[in-house]
Structure 1
Amino acid sequence: MVKAALRKWWVFGLFAVLLSVFFYKVWLKDLVPFPGDLLVGAYYPWLEYKWGYEVGVPIKNQLISDVFSQVYIWKDLAFESFKNGQWPLWNPYVYSGYPLLASFSGGVLYPLNMLLLLGVDGWSMMVIMQVLGSLAGMYWFLRLRKLERISAVIGAVAYAFSAAMIIRLEWNTAGQVMWWLAVNMALIEYYFEKSKRAAVLIPPVIFMLITAGHFQTMFYGLVLILGYTIFKWIGKERKSGVALIVAMGLGLLISSLQILPTMVMMSKSVRMAESAIARDNYGLLPWGNLITLWAPDFFGNPTTINYWGVINYNETIFYPSLIGLVALLWGLFNWRKIRKENRFFLIVACVAVFMAFDNPLGRLVYDLKVPFLSTGYAARVLVILVFACSVLIGAWLEKLKDMKRKEVYLPLVLFGLMALVSIGVTS
């Protein structure tokens, strides 16, 4: 009885250990995952005080100032508005004021903002929950796809601790979207493979995904959700997916409380007309940046103050993990042998790569001026690559024990050749 329980529940114990180790500074040192060093070490009036240091507080990462200059302030202001019985329509504290609800990155309608009732502890809980939720959501999705526990665990860890999560961890927005993306995908799988009752949960989960506060991650997530729904629906009875589509439509309808104000404000925003993003080539990566698929810090890292790549680290990181890349290469070489569901994610991964790099497909979003999407950097499609590769990791591990030596070694050999070519291109 005990052994059976251990076999079933060891996964959650492992997740708890991983989170405890990764966030040990929260538990043991009572620190908050918040860039306070940057706030007091680079901004007045705090900069004038040295806080016990000879020349001021050392700054760890200069790229995440939006956390305290925008996201935290907006969330806290919205929560205070709700506490005071007011609808959070307006932020009166900047210049003559500007819309608060319409500022998408604030995620002012996101239900988990209520954790800010606990102050900074609530903020820490939100940061941790986005990793935990992504672990649990991806694990559930992979298990529904009939993968063994160990394969599902490794795929879930690759997703929840991916570059897409870590580079924006303290923003508390993109990671929240990743959490609800995984849950949405699991619900779609559950709907088609187990019970149509799963449709009842779709509207609130869609609402959580949209209000979490990161527009491009949300947009790409919704595209993946819709694409996977259509893929699962093909070949089944016409009416089998109707309830799911209706549920998604209801989720979008509820989320219009956030979407419509944002669309109105963005249509009047200077971002729709400015050329700043064009000067950075829209964030489309040069082909030499392919090396970051397996060496994310090849061009340096802002925390070690040695970054020498294009644009900045956050907008060029494109790393699906080493095991994710191996699984992707394995899928490419075994197209005919893998399940059709895995082919879907293989196509998603390849499309994501082409959309991030400078080529006709990648430029299409910007040449066509796709509303709201063409104002963001191209490499943010990383979230879709990471999701697809995490699924492929599980599939690769399932097949590993039955592979011939050639099947095991070929992706590794190609991996090495690609690394050598990329080093030659960038040197």
Structure 2
Amino acid sequence: MHGRKSGDNWCNKRHTIMISKKSVFRIIFPIAISLGITVLLFWKSFIGMIPFPGNYLIAWYEPWKSETSYARSLGIAHKPVLDDVFRQLYPYKILIKESIQNGSLPLWNPYNGSGMPLLATMHAGFFTPTTLLFLLFTGHAAWTMYIMLQPILFSLGCWWYTRKLGFSRIASVFSIVTFLLSGFAVVRYEFGEYLYVASCLPYILAIIEQYRENTSTKLLFLIPCMVFFMMISGQPQMVLYVLLISGCYALSLCRMERISIFPLGASFLLGMGLSAVQLLPTLELYRNSNMTHSASQFIFDRFLLPIDHFITLFIPNFFGNPATYNFWERKDYVETALYMGMIPIFFVTVLIGKNVLDKRRYVRLFYEIVICLTFLLTLNWPLSRWIYSLPIPIIGTGIPSRFFFLTAFSIAILAGMGFDNFLKGKVPLRKPALMCIGIISIIVIFTLFSASTHVSCLDSVTHNCWLVALRDTTARNIILECVVFGIALFGVWLYKKIGIFAALMIMSIYCFSGLYNANKFLPFSSESRILPSVEVIDRIKQLTVYDRIVGVGDAEIPTNIASYFRFFDPQYYEPLYLKRYGELFSWAKTGDTSKGLTRSDVTFSGWDEGNPIMQKRIARLMQLVSVGNVLYKKEEYHKKQINSGQILWEDDTWIIAKNTSMLPHISVLADSEVIADDDLLLERLFDDSFDPTKTVLIEEPIKGKNETNAKINTDNAVVGIISYKENFLSLRVASPSDGLLVITDNYYPGWRAFVDDKEVKIYRANYAFRAISVPEGEHTIIFTYQPNSITLGSLLSVCTAILIGIFFILRLKK
């Protein structure tokens, strides 16, 4: 008996060990898969390269284009793509890092655009956990990890979701790989923010599936965390898509299963409340920005797609690739990248007309509907144009082709489902194979016909585009995809003979094809080309101090570069820029507040240099925004001069000259004029008889101002800057009489002013800037950015977090 008992104990221990090994395998396998995909996508990072378009910056943008030995050589940037990374996203990350290290919250960016909100843009991503990477590591190392985390997060979420749907392990891997190698994902990896938002979708869907199985699941409390993570990661358009798709998924599932939707709906609402600290400042900025339907109209002309663009769903790079300088379609490659390849499409067609497992039927139908709707919403036809003509926030101002995120995700799930059915031998494969061969045949016939008949390409800049494309790019890409698909079909045929090895062959050839396209597009650069400092930038920082500088002509400085190097540039790039500031630039360039408004850029470029009236307006605009120095290319100096005075510095390539008519960044003026009407105010502001160095225009009378002293001279007033930080400005002012302290920083809700610790009203001055009333004598003046939207948002977020905690504890007790 004793021996039998010992044997039973040994068997139990062995069984426990086997279960333990299975559990460990279930944990390690998806992690290993996610790490493996990441290594394959970003292998260059392991040999010291950074996922950053630095070569593009060096070869195409000033001052690096003229300053570095690399740019002066015959070499050219291999991949001229993703300039938003160095024009906006990376500078924001570094500005946030340095702001925190200097002891201040990154609420305001004083360096570009005469001061703009920073945290409220959402692109900054201050609240994301990845901010810790930038605090702990150097900028380029943190950026590399920030980019490489995306496929890992998505892989784990998609693994969880597809396994909840009953996919086999290899089918789950196929779904993961299909999305991560899709065109939508590949072209957006190095932006960072898109895939972080996209990664939340499979986690939310998996939680919804868990709720279907067990309505008392405690995992519901993860939904508010997912919603919060999306909100703080950036890209409100992507956030909206995730909320829409997950909300519809939850509604359809709950209706089908006849279970309550209330707990799920409450979880999403709690997530919105938890996100208030980001959401309220962003909504405040949205109301004050130029993000309007009229300003976004050109987007629908450019990004609603012709029917022939959908060829790229099947044939990657059918129209070429900008990274290899052979893209010949006028549409934006990054925003319209759709390709999935023939192999996933084949496994999607496997499901057509076939009954799948009952557990998956509603899933298949749901994603089939999503694919159809996203195609209809991105196609250029009357219904889509009517929908986007409606003044719906985000939808009416966003880029339609970003719906391809939902297309790619839906195809990835359906492809995994079809692959799973194929592995289980539940579907005939002849008809799907013939269908896909027919698709390729139609594409080939269409291409040959277009080339032979010289069909014009309304969206191309290339003469005889079809013929050129057939010779240079299209034929090669069609042949490559046909070879890949042919090998995959051979693997399908072999499956009954060699089983899992054939399945692995299919997946391997698809990975080869997808990684080939990813490697073709994704730019990598050495550390030395990540926004390197050059002599002219060092001189700019040395000479400008608190004045602003503008590059004229070919010396134009890329927008938001000043935020990285910490000097002051009145130009700015951000979709949520302050509308009133943009209107000032528009009026200077066109004589109208709306004609010159752009969707994302506020710059001095785009005006008629041969028009003397426009030249005067631009000179006045430079004066109003306190441009103290102007950067010129030496060969352009004599023909591009605007109010240029003393040359402060020059070398063989550059000249930095003093602007002779600058309005100081901070000054005390005695005279003011009250003009409430915007048009009249702008006309007066740009009138030749008006001198902004003597008089300031305001929109309401100054409270308590003694009109008899309005003309008292304040020329001897002295302004000393004690401290100028992102959210804080401290001054020492000595004025012989009462006056108005004018600061050429943007007027915006949340700024508060104190004269000797007594709060005073801030007036909007010169259409877009700030002014306060200052009594005579010596005073300490403080401006501090303390927006109510941040305060209220923080309070709502904290209260929601407490509420979630209470609900969670009560659920645990049950």
Structure-2-length-normalised TM-score: 0.49
Indicate the residue corresponding to 2:435 in structure 1.
Answer: 411
**1:96, 1:275 → 2: CA distance?**
21
Indicate the residue corresponding to 1:402 in structure 2.
Answer: 426
Residues 187/93 of structure 1: CA separation in 2 closer, same or farther (3 Å cut) = same
Structure 1: gaps (5+ residues): none
C-alpha deviation, 1:47, in angstroms = 1.9
Structure 1 range deviating more: 246-255 or 323-332: 323-332
C-alpha deviation, 1:90, in angstroms = 0.9
Aligned match for 2:117, one of 96, 99, 122: 99
Indicate the residue corresponding to 2:32 in structure 1.
Answer: 13
Residues 57/419 of structure 1: CA separation in 2 closer, same or farther (3 Å cut) = same
Aligned residues: CA RMSD: 2.6
Partner SS, residue 320 of structure 2: coil
Are 1:370 and 2:385 an aligned pair? no
Contact preservation (8 Å) 1:134, 1:159: no
Structure 1 range deviating more: 354-363 or 49-58: 49-58
Indicate the residue corresponding to 1:227 in structure 2.
Answer: 248
Indicate the residue corresponding to 1:217 in structure 2.
Answer: 238
Indicate the residue corresponding to 1:193 in structure 2.
Answer: 213
Indicate the residue corresponding to 1:391 in structure 2.
Answer: 413
Partner SS, residue 69 of structure 2: coil
Instruction: Summarize deviations over 1:87-106 as a string: whole Å, max 9, x none.
Output: 32211011311111221222
**2:314, 2:149 → 1: CA distance?**
28
Matched letter for residue 217 of structure 2 = K
Matched letter for residue 137 of structure 1 = G
Structure 1 range deviating more: 199-208 or 311-320: 311-320
Partner SS, residue 48 of structure 1: helix
C-alpha deviation, 1:410, in angstroms = 4.1
More strand by share: 2
Indicate the residue corresponding to 1:326 in structure 2.
Answer: 346
Contact preservation (8 Å) 1:51, 1:57: no
More helix by share: 1
Indicate the residue corresponding to 1:357 in structure 2.
Answer: 379
Instruction: Summarize deviations over 1:181-238 as a string: whole Å, max 9, x none.
Output: 2222222222222462111111111111122112222221111111111112113445
Residues 258/199 of structure 1: CA separation in 2 closer, same or farther (3 Å cut) = same
Alignment of 1:146-185 (within 5 A): 146-185=166-205
Indicate the residue corresponding to 2:511 in structure 1.
Answer: none
Indicate the residue corresponding to 2:106 in structure 1.
Answer: 88
Residues 132/57 of structure 1: CA separation in 2 closer, same or farther (3 Å cut) = farther
Indicate the residue corresponding to 2:68 in structure 1.
Answer: 50
Indicate the residue corresponding to 2:332 in structure 1.
Answer: 312
Residues 170/231 of structure 1: CA separation in 2 closer, same or farther (3 Å cut) = same
Indicate the residue corresponding to 1:243 in structure 2.
Answer: 263
Partner SS, residue 234 of structure 1: helix
C-alpha deviation, 1:254, in angstroms = 1.6
Residues 324/261 of structure 1: CA separation in 2 closer, same or farther (3 Å cut) = farther
Are 1:253 and 2:273 an aligned pair? yes
Structure 1 range deviating more: 41-50 or 271-280: 271-280
Matched letter for residue 416 of structure 2 = G
Are 1:382 and 2:400 an aligned pair? no
**2:344, 2:236 → 1: CA distance?**
25
Contact preservation (8 Å) 1:291, 1:422: no
**1:251, 1:281 → 2: CA distance?**
35
Alignment of 1:20-59 (within 5 A): 20-27=39-46, 29-52=47-70, 55=73, 58-59=76-77
Structure 1 range deviating more: 264-273 or 375-384: 264-273
**2:385, 2:356 → 1: CA distance?**
30
Are 1:339 and 2:358 an aligned pair? no
**1:158, 1:7 → 2: CA distance?**
23
Contact preservation (8 Å) 2:64, 2:71: no
Contact preservation (8 Å) 2:367, 2:410: yes
Structure-1-length-normalised TM-score: 0.91
C-alpha deviation, 1:344, in angstroms = 0.5
Instruction: Summarize deviations over 1:51-97 as a string: whole Å, max 9, x none.
Output: 34652663233331111111111222233334444332211011311
Residues 196/321 of structure 1: CA separation in 2 closer, same or farther (3 Å cut) = farther
Are 1:68 and 2:86 an aligned pair? yes
Instruction: Summarize deviations over 1:362-392 as a string: whole Å, max 9, x none.
Output: 2243121321222222111111001111110
Structure 1 range deviating more: 41-50 or 141-150: 41-50
Partner SS, residue 185 of structure 1: helix
Contact preservation (8 Å) 2:322, 2:333: yes
Alignment of 1:264-303 (within 5 A): 264-272=284-292, 274-275=294-295, 277-278=297-298, 281-303=301-323
**2:119, 2:22 → 1: CA distance?**
49
Structure 1 range deviating more: 268-277 or 376-385: 268-277
Contact preservation (8 Å) 1:110, 1:208: yes
**1:159, 1:279 → 2: CA distance?**
26
Residues 278/243 of structure 1: CA separation in 2 closer, same or farther (3 Å cut) = same
**2:63, 2:74 → 1: CA distance?**
12
Residues 169/324 of structure 1: CA separation in 2 closer, same or farther (3 Å cut) = same
Matched letter for residue 361 of structure 2 = R
**2:302, 2:388 → 1: CA distance?**
7
C-alpha deviation, 1:279, in angstroms = 6.6
Contact preservation (8 Å) 2:30, 2:159: no
Structure 1 range deviating more: 367-376 or 274-283: 274-283
Instruction: Summarize deviations over 1:379-408 as a string: whole Å, max 9, x none.
Output: 111110011111101110122222224444
Residues 87/11 of structure 1: CA separation in 2 closer, same or farther (3 Å cut) = closer
**1:272, 1:116 → 2: CA distance?**
33
Structure number with greater Rg is 2
Residues 421/251 of structure 1: CA separation in 2 closer, same or farther (3 Å cut) = farther
Indicate the residue corresponding to 1:110 in structure 2.
Answer: 128
Instruction: Summarize deviations over 1:316-357 as a string: whole Å, max 9, x none.
Output: 212233333224434444479871221111111111111111
Contact preservation (8 Å) 1:76, 1:116: yes
Partner SS, residue 355 of structure 1: helix
**2:92, 2:71 → 1: CA distance?**
31
**1:64, 1:294 → 2: CA distance?**
24
Matched letter for residue 164 of structure 1 = F
Partner SS, residue 256 of structure 2: coil
Are 1:137 and 2:157 an aligned pair? yes
**2:414, 2:438 → 1: CA distance?**
17
Indicate the residue corresponding to 1:203 in structure 2.
Answer: 224
**1:82, 1:202 → 2: CA distance?**
29
Structure 1 range deviating more: 395-404 or 379-388: 395-404
| Percent identity for Structure 1 against Structure 2 | 27
C-alpha deviation, 1:7, in angstroms = 6.3
Partner SS, residue 345 of structure 2: helix
Partner SS, residue 337 of structure 2: coil
Residues 140/212 of structure 1: CA separation in 2 closer, same or farther (3 Å cut) = same
Matched letter for residue 32 of structure 1 = I
Contact preservation (8 Å) 2:303, 2:332: no
Partner SS, residue 307 of structure 1: coil
Contact preservation (8 Å) 1:352, 1:385: yes
Contact preservation (8 Å) 2:81, 2:323: no
Residues 3/396 of structure 1: CA separation in 2 closer, same or farther (3 Å cut) = same
